[in-house]
Amino acid sequence: MLLHFALMSGQEVAVEALPEDIVDDVLNRAQDALNVVLVSMISSSGALLNLTRSLEDEGVQDGDRLIVVVDKSDPPRQWHSNSFILAALKKDGQLVVWGGEAAGASCCAVPEDLNSVEFVCANSGAIAAVTDGRVITWGEANLGGDSAAVRHQLVDVCSVCSSAYAFAALKHDGSVVCWGDSNAGGDSTAVQEQLHSVRQISAATWAFAAIKGDGSVVTWGNDRKGGDSSSVQDQLMNVKSICASSWAFAALRADGRAITWGVANKGGDSRSVQEHLHNVLQLRATSWAFAALKSDGTVLSWGDPESGGDCRKVHHRLTSVCQLCACAEAFAALTRLGQVVTWGHVLCQRSSSDGSLNDVQRMSASSRAFAALKKDGTVVTWGDRQKGGSSGTMEPELVDIHQICGSSWAFAALRGDGQVITWGDPRNGGDSSAVSHCLSDIVDLFA
């Protein structure tokens, strides 16, 4: 039979199948043809198809037009930024910040004139908030908390990205403004003439990488830790996204190839998997390793084995994967059936026989723990208990959860009623009691 698979955007492909083929297997073929991560399939009558049954059993017939649903994955978490704070955005545009003892108390001192916040970005000791196209900063001055030297340039800003010790702001005209520690990308003078028509910026601990409108890439910061991409510059063409570990970058090209640079044994050298590193749909990184989700639903990883760079022991279970999540030292993969597969540091792994890790729809991570949001709105946690691996006494409050956000050492969960539940290291975000009176009517969480 010939089946037609359509995205909500209107893009459509035809795929051949047999009546006895399992729905999930056919969805993998449609995913490969459409080159996007797919999570479910809807029949021509509007029914959600059971992924474990055959096309025939689900009533699919030759010539049917099936709607496929794309995964709305969260942006990659940057563990190198070492954010120790959690922040909540209220419906009225006010920002509430708590935690941050490891980063210094100044991070929690939100400027009084800050309102109408659109976006928040934090590094190891400073915070930048975008409001009406302007950027307001506070925290450790030398880490970007003081942006006075470039304040006149910080207008018409659409996004901000942080390395561990600096910030880079992308403006609507495609130009870039940097500030903070010059050794960590806070000074882009050497490449400033190239920083035009930029559409995306990514950051490692000590460096930044910018994708330009023509798909080329410009890098700056510490040369040895990702700031120098000259060794692969001729391969950095038609790049559509970039993911960063602490000391390396991986660029995903439009043709599905991934190109890496930076410290070799921390993910910068992908030669061990390069033969198979094609048809890639998504990249994620721990501190020292990368993982790639391919269009056939399988996963490859490289870099430091102790940080998730070797997934061979679980490779047979890494099928029909629709989401990758990374803490600083391990990966967790979510399959379309709602099951979770983990690898990397032993403390961050979860047994496959654990019955509580079923029907998962989304995952989040702190530096050494994971939190899985289930379809019923409850949450399952595992990993380092001190970093949020146990929700402890807050577990009964974790119901009707709509969003989970992880900082380096803690988690915050947003309930349907606009309330925020926190757990993890009490000094670095896990205890929000000091600001609990402000945590109502929350619409978004940041770390």
The Cα–Cα gap between 437 and 98 comes to 12
pLDDT at 105 (0 to 100): 56
Can you tell me which residue has the tokens 């830790």?
Answer: 225
Residue 76 has pLDDT above 70, yes or no: no
Is pLDDT above 80 for 100? no
% of the chain with per-residue pLDDT over 90: 77
DSSP reduced 3-state for 175: coil
Highest mean pLDDT pick, 71-85, 188-202, 425-439: 188-202
pLDDT of residue 71: 84
Whether 436 has a pLDDT exceeding 70, the answer reads yes
More confident residue, 358 or 386: 386
DSSP string, 219-248: EEE-GGGTT--GGGGGG--SEEEEEE-SSE
pLDDT computed for residue 72 by the predictor: 77
The pLDDT value recorded for residue 103 is 53
Residues 328-340 have a mean pLDDT of 93
- pLDDT, one tens digit per residue, over 187-235 is 999 999 999 999 999 999 999 999 999 999 999 999 999 999 999 999 9
pLDDT (0 to 100) of residue 207: 96
Distance CA 308, CA 326 (A): 9
Q: Is the pLDDT of residue 237 over 90?
A: yes
The model's pTM is 0.92
Q: What's the pLDDT tens digit per position in 20-31?
A: 999 999 999 999
Sequence-ordered strand ranges (E) for 12-76:
12-16, 38-42, 65-70
Nearby residues of 306 by Cβ (< 8 Å), 6 or more positions away: 288, 329, 344, 345
pLDDT surpassing 90 at residue 3: yes
Mean pLDDT, rounded, for 234-248: 96
* Other Cβ atoms closer than 10 A to 320: 22
- CATH code for the structural domain at 2-70: 3.10.20.90
Task: Share the mean pLDDT of the chain.
Answer: 92
Domain boundaries, the chain: 2-70
Lowest mean pLDDT among 76-90, 147-161, 397-411: 76-90
User: pLDDT value at position 78?
Assistant: 65
Lowest mean pLDDT across 61-65, 78-82, 232-236: 78-82
Does residue 394 contact residue 422 with C-beta atoms inside 8 Å? yes
- Mode of pairing for the β-strands spanning 2-6 and 65-70: parallel
pLDDT digits (tens, 9 = 90+) for 121-168: 988 889 999 999 999 999 999 999 999 999 999 999 999 999 999 999
b vs e for 260-297, b when ≥16 Cβ sit within 10 Å of the residue's Cβ?
Answer: bbbbeebbbbbeebeeebebbbbbbbbbbbbbbbbbeb
Q: What is the mean pLDDT of residues 259-265?
A: 96
* Rounded mean pLDDT, 102-108: 60
Please report the pLDDT score of residue 295 as a whole number: 93
CA distances to 89, 104, 307, 308, 314 from 333, rounded to whole Å, are 29, 34, 14, 11, 10
The predicted structure's pLDDT at residue 111: 83
pLDDT at 433 over 70: yes
